[in-house]
Amino acid sequence: MKVCVVAHGCRLSRAEQDGIEAEVARAGHDVVDTPAEADVLWLDTCAVTARADADARKAVRRAVRERPGLKVILSGCYAALAPETCASLEGVVAVVGNQGKRADLIADLLETPGACPPSSAHLVPASALTAHIGVPRARRGTWPAVADLPASSPRARTRALLRVQDGCDHACSYCIVPPVRGPSRSLPPREVERRFADLAAAGVPEVVLTGAHLGTYGRDLAPRTDLAGLLGRLVERAGATRIRLSSLDPHEVDDALLDVMAAHGDRVCPHLHLPLQSGDDRILRGMRRAYAARAFADAVARVRARIPHVTIGTDVIAGFPGEDDAAFDATCDLLLRARVDYVHAFAFSPRSGTAAATMEPRVPPRVVGDRIARLRRISQAGNEALAARWAGRTVDVVFDRFPRGGVLRGVSEAYLRLEADRDRPALRGARVRGVVAACGRRVVVPPVEATGAAGP
Ligand code: SF4
């Protein structure tokens, strides 16, 4: 069969898309790029906002309209959150949430799509939506192990996503992840090393370690370990492949991790994404975040002291219930004092089943819009300062975006997005050194490097 796998969500969802595609191919089916040419559409949905929910429904309706007879399998967070709604959409033959992302189930579902109608087996009972938090460790077994989904194939992406952790044991009041992804589970270090080695052996220039709550990696394993321990093992094997970390909560950046990053700067990207969400302690308490604003400032200062040329990005939620002007000003002041390099700004989106969904007072949409605009201005300024900091300097760039007839784009080790001075087929997917132009947006790659020789 021709199977199209699409992911709507985060890096973790895209890593799972790669794993599902790998399993589709291993089961002898063809992976195709668009639903229009497919027999089956596997859509991995997202539930981070109400907008994401709507996008999933819209995508299914459009795909089925454009390809009559298309069979649709829905997985992911929205499928876990609203299984009945998903099952009611025309063309949907299976709803498997996140619990159904297992190699064995994927093969079965593709064997006889439609033979496994949406059933309670793969649906998260409503009670779990609120009862999940504090589920005893014993119940972890009801959730698939990270290893149950194969690794992404090396061809999947220039910058490969390596899923090393899933689920979360925290309970931030606005977040839907714990009920739909279950408790934290980690991929054992030996299996991470094996999957990493496969990617490195295939010449993948960059591997991004990802998870639902990466900072808690290894806490559920026996013997217990942590992200610093894992990274320390991987740098020994990295060869020409560099490693990037996805999001970490500010209080999870410990000295052990900084030691590995500082000691292996040629292998571990000097880039950290530290979600702040709010710079006001009253709001952070309302969000049930596990740190105070001071911890973010301290983490940034400690990181910069150890890795001076590091890039630091963050996430901020604008409009959390009870966020007044003073609280938002505190957030902006902290971002400016910490000199963050970029900000991903999100409008608060109440998710049913979360504690924050019923919190008051709500912030008017117009005010939220103004706050998002202000955060984007701060991000723009931070990004311009980052580009100026690197202008004229030599960087290690991986060209990962090469749209047909378009500009060749890449990303430096410090997460600077750069355009190639001119398109060269040999540079596509390559990791090379180049000099950042005065504008800070372009990279000049000397001819010798145009051979696409991997690695600085
Ligand atoms: S730490 Fe909080 S925001 Fe992050 S996944 Fe867990 S509950 Fe969600």
* Residues 46-95 pLDDT 10s: 999 999 999 999 999 999 999 999 999 999 999 999 999 999 999 999 99
Taking the centre of ligand 1 as the mean of its atom positions, its distance from the CA of residue 134, in whole angstroms, is 14
Q: Of all atoms in ligand 1, which is nearest to the CA of residue 288?
A: 2
Cα atoms in the Cβ-side hemisphere of radius 13 Å centred on 218: 15
Q: What are the residue boundaries of the structural domains of the chain, listed by start?
A: 2-125, 140-390, 394-444
Contact 155, 25 (CB under 8 A): no
- Render pLDDT for 95-131 as a digit per residue (tens, 0 to 9): 999 988 998 888 888 876 655 444 444 444 444 443 3
Residue 136: per-residue pLDDT: 41
Atom of ligand 1 minimally distant from the CA of 169: 6
Q: Is 359 exposed, middle or buried (0-12, 13-18, 19+ CB in 10 A)?
A: middle
Q: Assess whether the region 2-125 and the region 140-390 belong to the same CATH fold.
A: no
Which neighbouring-strand residues pair with 115?
Answer: none
- How many Å lie between the centroid of ligand 1 and the Cα of residue 170? 6
Q: Report the topology of domain 140-390.
A: pyruvate-formate lyase- activating enzyme (3.80.30)
2-125: CATH class: alpha beta
What crossing angle do the helices spanning 255-263 and 227-235 adopt, rounded to 10°? 20
Nearby residues of 443 by Cβ (< 8 Å), 6 or more positions away: 395, 397, 410, 412, 418, 419, 420, 421, 434, 435, 436, 437
Closest CA to 84 of 74, 69, 71, 99: 74
- SS3 readout for 151-180: CCCCCCCCEEEEECEECCCCCCCCCCHHHH
CA of 174 to the centre of ligand 1 (A): 9
Calculate how far, in angstroms, residue 231's C-alpha sits from the geometric centre of ligand 1.
22
Residue with tokens 């609280």: 327
Please give the number of the atom of ligand 1 that sits closest to the Cα of 290: 1
Residue 243 clears pLDDT 90, i.e. is over it: yes
- Residue 375 confidence (pLDDT): 98
